[in-house]
Structure 1
Amino acid sequence: MFDVDQYLKAIGFAGQPRPDAETLRTLHKGHLMAIPYDSSWNAERGISIWRDVDIDVDAVFDDIVIGGRGGNCYELNGLFRRLLDEIGFDTAVLSAGIRQVDGTFGPDLEHVFNRVELDGRTWLADVGFVGPSYLEPLVLSDDEQPQFGSRFRIARQDDYRVVERKPQTGDWQPVYRFRPQARDFQEWSGDQRELVEFAQQLVGAGTVIRGRAFDTGQMILIGRRYLEVDNGHDAMRVLVEQDELDRVVRTILRADR
């Protein structure tokens, strides 16, 4: 059963939460550090990955916050949105197409995250994306926004906005693109041929994605490809040995850092 106090304790938040920018930043980063992303739970859903995008908050809370399993984008961001609503933030649902390896973007409804209206500004809050991405919410603005050694900006592309990241070395790279208008969960129902075809590719590939943030960066495991981002420095390697892979998985899922 959803419980604000239990939730705050689980993500390491102390004190009285208030609907302000400082609280939003602290909750966002704390959530990413405390609760992992884990796509292994998608395997049982098959091509119906987005079937339950409008989550049963109480059941998912019991599974993830109390039970300790990781979650996918709409589970983690759905829980976080409920937490923000309970505290008094003004939230809405957004969706995005994630940049693929070939440089294209996935379907618009592929990824589910949150919008927060606060102090006359729009913020992006996303605790359900494995990364590399932002540890603290981004303001929907053309300005560059530095975070923990990386820089972020939100570029305009026709009627889309594109979140872009620049590490310490290297060029700007898109993370995902989105439209800033709020989404309705009904948009995920009905004939979603593009989304189903995309899900078939994901399920067919069978690649498990896991990730967790730490104080200055993120651990990202896609199959056997392990990326660690620390203060804006990206270090990628392939985990060939099973023992090393198992150790990294344990570290991500249990926060043994």
Structure 2
Amino acid sequence: MFDVDEYLAVLGCDERPAADLESLRFLHKRHLMTIPYDSSWNAERGISIWRDVDIDVDAVFEAVVRGGRGGNCYELNGLFRALLDELGFRTAVLSAGIRQVDGTFGPDLEHVFNRVELAGRSWLVDVGFVGPSYVEPLLLSGDEQIQCGSRFRITEQDGYHVVERKGRTADWSPVYRFRPTPRQFHEWSGDQPALVEFAERLVGAGTVIRGRAFETGQMVLIGRRYLHVDDGAEAVRVLVDQDEHDRVVRTILRAES
């Protein structure tokens, strides 16, 4: 069963925090540092990756928080949303299309994340994205925001809001695009042609994606392509050696430190 106090303890919080921005920032970053993203669990779902977007909170809590496995976007953000609701935050479900390697964006319902309203301001809350991206809540604003050496901004393009990131040396690059209007779970019901086609490409590629944040950055492993971002500085390598690849996987999944 979903247990707020046990969840908080896993995130390193000994008591229930207030529903304020300081607590949201702490919990958000701790979640990304503590519970990894791991798409390997999508393989058994086949083209029905988005079948359970409205998660069974108790079952996912048992598998992820208590059982220690990683999760995908809607599992991790669904659990975090349930935690925030219990703590008194005002949340809503958002969706996004992630920027692809070829520069296009995935379907609008591809990625599931959250919005939190605090003191009349909207914050993007996303603990289910592999990165590189924001590790603390991002204010829904056109202002530049700095986190762990990277700059973030939200622009408006073609009717969408676009989260953009800039590292220490690279130029601005889109992370994903979204509409700020809250989503309803029934929007994912049935066979959505755009999602089915997208899932077929993902399943066909067979690429496993894993990631975890650390205090000053993020580790992202897409297949054998390893991206390490520390204080805004990026290093990319292809892990040809199997032993090295396995060590990185274990580090991300925390099978070993």
Please tell me the TM-score bracket, short chain as reference: over 0.9
Task: Look up the match of 1:60.
Answer: 60
Task: Look up the match of 2:131.
Answer: 131
Tell me the distance in 2 between the aligned counterparts of 1:204 and 1:14: 44
Query: Where in structure 2 are there 5+ consecutive unaligned residues?
Result: none
Q: Which amino acid aligns with 1:153?
A: R
Tell me the distance in 1 between the aligned counterparts of 2:10 and 2:254: 13
Q: Does 1:177 align with 2:174?
A: no
Q: Which amino acid aligns with 2:214?
A: F
Is the 2:226–2:238 contact (alpha carbons within 8 Å) kept by the matching residues of 1? yes
Task: Look up the match of 2:152.
Answer: 152
Deviation of the 1:11 alpha carbon: 1.1
Is the 2:5–2:16 contact (alpha carbons within 8 Å) kept by the matching residues of 1? no
Q: What secondary structure is seen at the aligned counterpart in 1 of 2:227?
A: strand
- TM-score, normalized by length of structure 2? 0.99
Deviations 1:52-79 (A, max 9, x none): 0000000000000000000000000000
Tell me the distance in 1 between the aligned counterparts of 2:71 and 2:53: 12
Deviation of the 1:255 alpha carbon: 6.8
The residue correspondences of 1:65-144 to structure 2 (distance < 5 A) are 65-144=65-144
Task: Look up the match of 1:236.
Answer: 236
Deviations 1:174-203 (A, max 9, x none): 000000000000000124101100000000
Tell me the distance in 1 between the aligned counterparts of 2:31 and 2:105: 26
Query: Where in structure 1 are there 5+ consecutive unaligned residues?
Result: none
Q: Does 1:166 align with 2:166?
A: yes
Which segment is superposed worse, 150-159 or 177-186? 150-159
The residue correspondences of 1:171-210 to structure 2 (distance < 5 A) are 171-210=171-210
Is the 2:218–2:229 contact (alpha carbons within 8 Å) kept by the matching residues of 1? yes
- Aligned-residue identity in percent: 78
Deviation of the 1:13 alpha carbon: 1.9
Q: Which amino acid aligns with 1:118?
A: L
Q: Which amino acid aligns with 1:101?
A: V
Tell me the distance in 1 between the aligned counterparts of 2:155 and 2:83: 29
Deviation of the 1:256 alpha carbon: 4.2
